[in-house]
Structure 1
Amino acid sequence: MTTILITGASSGLGAEMARQFAARGHDLALAARRLDRLAELRAEIQARHPERRVEIRALDVTDDEQVFAVFRGFRDDFGAIGRVIVNAGLGKGAPIGTGRYDANKATAMTNFVAALAQCEAAMEIFRVQKHGHLVMISSMSAMRGMPKTITTYAATKAGVAALAEGIRNEMAGEPALDIDVSVIYPGYIRSEMNERVKHTPFMVDTETGVKAIVEAVEAKRAHARVPAWPWVPLGTAMRHAPLKVVRKLT
């Protein structure tokens, strides 16, 4: 078992990942802006699994200095961090050129620039330890350019997938470092981010969707589209289908 640091852990996929990883025997370092929600989650997990150690810290991932301080603080708490899951994200956005640059910029800063900071902080720890597992939560929307309100969101998720793959590429050439890198591409999984979205095809509940994520992470898969059905075949179709077909999936 290992210690897992999860960002964006106060709700949605992050909170459910914490529950499921604790059930599998892992200790947890949980970070998010809402410390009160993290405290409630810690109490819930420790009530079910009193043998698990759960540490929490408030974190705004867009604050670079805080990202490094929080990651190093967790490392000092536990002595080592075995896995970091870059999960914190933002889903707001608007069609490009419609006067909501503010929303699109916020999404870009949170989903890409802040993810870069988290990767820097995680890899700094892993390089010293000479081992670790970096997990990037991307999205099936990263498969192609997407229209309307998710154009920027999809672009950021494609960007972080490429960022993580670049790190994996480098680590493959570093035999002295035992560092794995996984990119997870979730399909439509119900969470607080999309709770207002109705009648979406292939949507699964949070517990089911996160179970697929957790299994892929535990297997240290280099990349995984989850849940496998229908997203493995749909992902292939999305990469090659005409854009007018891709639009129907949004």
Structure 2
Amino acid sequence: MSRGVVLVTGASSGLGEEMARQFAALGYDLALCARRTDRLDALAAEIRSATGRRVETAALDVTNAAAVPAVFRRFDEAFGGLDRVVVNAGLGKGAPLGTGRAEANRETAMTNFVGALAQCEAALEVFRRQGRGHLVLVSSMSALRGMRRSMTTYAATKAGVASLAEGLRAERVPGLDVSVVYPGYIRSEMNAHVQQRTRFMVDTPTGVRAMVDAIEKRKAAAYVPAWPWVSIGFLLRVLPLSVVRRLT
């Protein structure tokens, strides 16, 4: 018996890919979407073979405003409802502002924030109609303060994602639970190019296990993994910007 249906965007790699595996292992059926359908279909075949769960896939570029609600509606109709939507698709591109790479920053902003907004709109259409649902937004520890250099735009988009979650919680939509997850340093395809050793970095399965545990508990907000990121999150919020600058 299925525990419900989880829709995960950006599921062809990184955190989204591993979340799909772990949710399936917990007994959920899956609606998976991403731009790279070859990898998505390979993941779906792997999960079906390993768990016997139902997995449906769809191509989706979250910056395509018309495609997002269409894909979400298609999944909703296929499964007869959605229990959880994980707004995960994102980019880690970026450059210091004013250095000639405005397109990289714009692409990050369009995917990470405008795309997240489109996903929230589409998910809430389903959840409002069925009178229940769990919306999960994947933010970042970088969202807690303004970041410098190549992180400036990325951090700003993730702060926007967290603000969307808080606004929806404040609205108190009947039957709706809203969670925002702030991952710390989790090794994934997005940061695989970083060669230097990073303190507190954990492997993908370990980091995602902490994310999935927080999501399953329907926490309003979670810094993951809890150690050391709960403490670091507190410090980031209270330290002067001059100190935060040296830490980041």
TM range (shorter): over 0.9
Other structure's SS at 1:114 match: helix
Aligned position for 1:45: 47
Other structure's SS at 1:39 match: helix
Aligned position for 2:148: 147
How far residue 246 of structure 1 moved from its aligned partner, in angstroms, is 2.0
**Alignment identity in percent?**
66
What is the distance in 2 between the residues matched to 1:2 and 1:143? 32
What is the distance in 2 between the residues matched to 1:115 and 1:35? 20
What is the distance in 2 between the residues matched to 1:36 and 1:109? 24
Aligned position for 1:29: 31
Q: Which runs of 4+ in 1 moved over 4 A?
A: none
For structure 2, the 5+ residue unaligned runs are none
For structure 1, the 5+ residue unaligned runs are none
Other structure's SS at 2:179 match: strand
What is the distance in 2 between the residues matched to 1:224 and 1:246? 21
Aligned position for 1:243: 241
Change over 3 Å in CA distance of 1:44–1:162 after alignment to 2 = same
How far residue 20 of structure 1 moved from its aligned partner, in angstroms, is 0.3
Q: How many residues align?
A: 245
What is the distance in 2 between the residues matched to 1:245 and 1:165? 27
How far residue 97 of structure 1 moved from its aligned partner, in angstroms, is 1.0
Matches within 5 A, 1:44-193: 44-50=46-52, 52-171=53-172, 174=173, 177-193=174-190
How far residue 237 of structure 1 moved from its aligned partner, in angstroms, is 0.3
What is the distance in 2 between the residues matched to 1:170 and 1:244? 35
AA matched with 2:175? D
Change over 3 Å in CA distance of 1:203–1:248 after alignment to 2 = farther
What is the distance in 2 between the residues matched to 1:19 and 1:184? 18
TM-score normalised by the chain length of structure 1: 0.96
How far residue 244 of structure 1 moved from its aligned partner, in angstroms, is 3.4
What is the distance in 1 between the residues matched to 2:82 and 2:19? 16
Aligned position for 2:18: 16
1:84-121: CA deviations, max 9, x gaps? 00000000000011111111011001000010000000
AA matched with 1:81? L
What is the root-mean-square deviation of aligned Cα atoms in Å? 0.8
What is the distance in 1 between the residues matched to 2:13 and 2:102? 26
TM-score normalised by the chain length of structure 2: 0.97
Other structure's SS at 1:112 match: helix
Other structure's SS at 1:64 match: coil
Aligned position for 2:224: 226
What is the distance in 2 between the residues matched to 1:201 and 1:105? 29
What is the distance in 2 between the residues matched to 1:243 and 1:201? 21
191-200 vs 237-246, which deviates more?
Answer: 237-246
How far residue 152 of structure 1 moved from its aligned partner, in angstroms, is 0.2
How far residue 196 of structure 1 moved from its aligned partner, in angstroms, is 1.2
1:148-172: CA deviations, max 9, x gaps? 101000000001100111011102x
What is the distance in 2 between the residues matched to 1:84 and 1:12? 17
What is the distance in 2 between the residues matched to 1:207 and 1:113? 28
